[in-house]
Amino acid sequence: MCGRLSQYHGIHDFVAALSIPNALINYAGDQPLACYNAAPTTQLALFHRDGEYLRADRVRWGWRPHWAKDRVAPINARVEKVAHGPFFKAIWPHRAIIAIDNWFEWVYEGGPKKQPYLIRHRDRSPIFCAAIGQYPIGEHEPGEHDGFVIITADSAGGMVDIHDRRPVALSPELAREWLDPATPKERAEQMVLLQGEPTEAFEWFKVDCAVGNVRNQGAELIEPLKKQKHIR
């Protein structure tokens, strides 16, 4: 996963798709998020559980433990190691969902620049990416060390041609189970290892190279190239 995504729908759109009946604690705002070109370190809307409530906070994309100050904060965690490696040990119990509309990857196709591709659900529904992080909970205020990482797995099928890694996306039912504090850690690990959504749930197409500049924002960034004849 290259490290660029879109989160442009509003919090309530994502909550409706999650179908969680619990009351929402919302610190992410009620307006559309309108983030079409989010890069690492962006404050993104992150869902997690706060007691019996679903909570949404704006949390920085990227995290590192306090003892790794000499390292750039990773934005992703490999599903094969995340549950047992020392780097993410402190946040593995703190599960979250980053709901996105799509993500981007860049592919070398022989031209002077890599070609960006947009990847989204075929039905254009929200993508619920499994994440872990350090985030506000209870009466604790947001802290300078807060952040989250997206769990990634090997790509499969035709998506391998786009990138060798992809986020672990969960169905709404599994996303609710992932967020539930009562879900055992062992079950959570099996979910992200074995039950991520299949490649067939997604489509991808070329978009304009303007998405390569993070200062560019706007709905035009998610439109297929005009010369594109079809979507995979």
Query: What positions carry a catalytic annotation?
Result: 2, 105
Largest pairwise CA distance in the chain: 53
Cα dist from 169 to 80, 114, 158, 195, 218, whole Å? 15, 25, 17, 9, 24
Residue 133: which of 118, 150, 111, 154 has the closest Cα?
150
Inter-CA distances, 18 with 42, 58, 151, 207, 221, Å: 23, 18, 19, 28, 26
Element (H, E) at 145: none
For residues 6-23, one letter each, b for 16 or more C-beta atoms within 10 angstroms of the residue's C-beta and e for the rest, the string is: bbbbbbebbbebbebeee
Q: Compute the distance between CA of residue 227 and CA of residue 35 in angstroms, rounded to an integer.
A: 25
Pairing label, strands 147-154, 76-78 = parallel
159 phi and psi angles, rounded to 5 deg: -65, -20
